[in-house]
Amino acid sequence: MKRNLLILSGLVALTLFSGCIVRGTVRARAYGPQPDLVMISPGVYVVADYDDSVFYYDNYYWRYDGYVWYRSNVYTGGWARWSSPPRAIVRIDRPRAYVRYRGNGNVHHQPARPVGRDHRAPNRVQPAPRSRPAARDH
């Protein structure tokens, strides 16, 4: 009886403390419409007739806002602050001048392309915390 109880308690302990590890990779692919692009310099494009100045270079979209560059895989959102954009992007003169830009009719129509996603978080640069103003009694 003691032996059966010992075996049973051992099996219960083994069941409780055993674990299971599962590893895998999850990927999703979606095809979405791409914006019309206008070339403004070799390899650098701007999204044509858009409400914001969004540029396309080296498979990323770039947006300039308040002395800071942001990067995304899509032109409609998902912006991450980027501390060191490529030289071709930094050299754009007056980025805000490209809001609703149409160029000289040289619009490149982009076919739908796959937008890949995986489990990794984007490489984001966090802004420095802002200091609060001092409270004063007047």
- The token pair at 126 is 């966090």
Task: Return the higher-pLDDT residue of 53 and 24.
Answer: 53
For residue 54, tell me if it sits in a domain: yes
Per residue in 106-136, pLDDT tens?
666 665 555 555 555 656 666 666 666 666 7
Sign of the Cα pseudo-torsion (49, 50, 53, 56, in order)? negative
* CB environment 50-79: b (16+ within 10 A), e (fewer): beebbbbbeebbbbbeeeebbbbeebeeeb
- The token pair at 13 is 């302990």
For residue 63, tell me if it sits in a domain: yes
User: Cα-flanking dihedrals φ and ψ of residue 89, to 5°?
Assistant: -80, -45
Distance between CA atoms of 54 and 101, rounded to whole angstroms? 10
Per residue in 57-83, pLDDT tens?
999 999 999 889 999 998 988 999 999
For residue 72, tell me if it sits in a domain: yes
Q: How many domains does the structure of the chain reveal?
A: 1
For 73, the domain range is: 35-110
Per residue in 47-63, pLDDT tens?
998 899 999 999 999 99
For residue 137, tell me if it sits in a domain: no
Residue 81 and residue 127 in contact, taking contact as beta carbons nearer than 8 Å: yes
Q: Is the pTM of this model over 0.75?
A: no
- The token pair at 119 is 């489990």
For residue 122, tell me if it sits in a domain: no
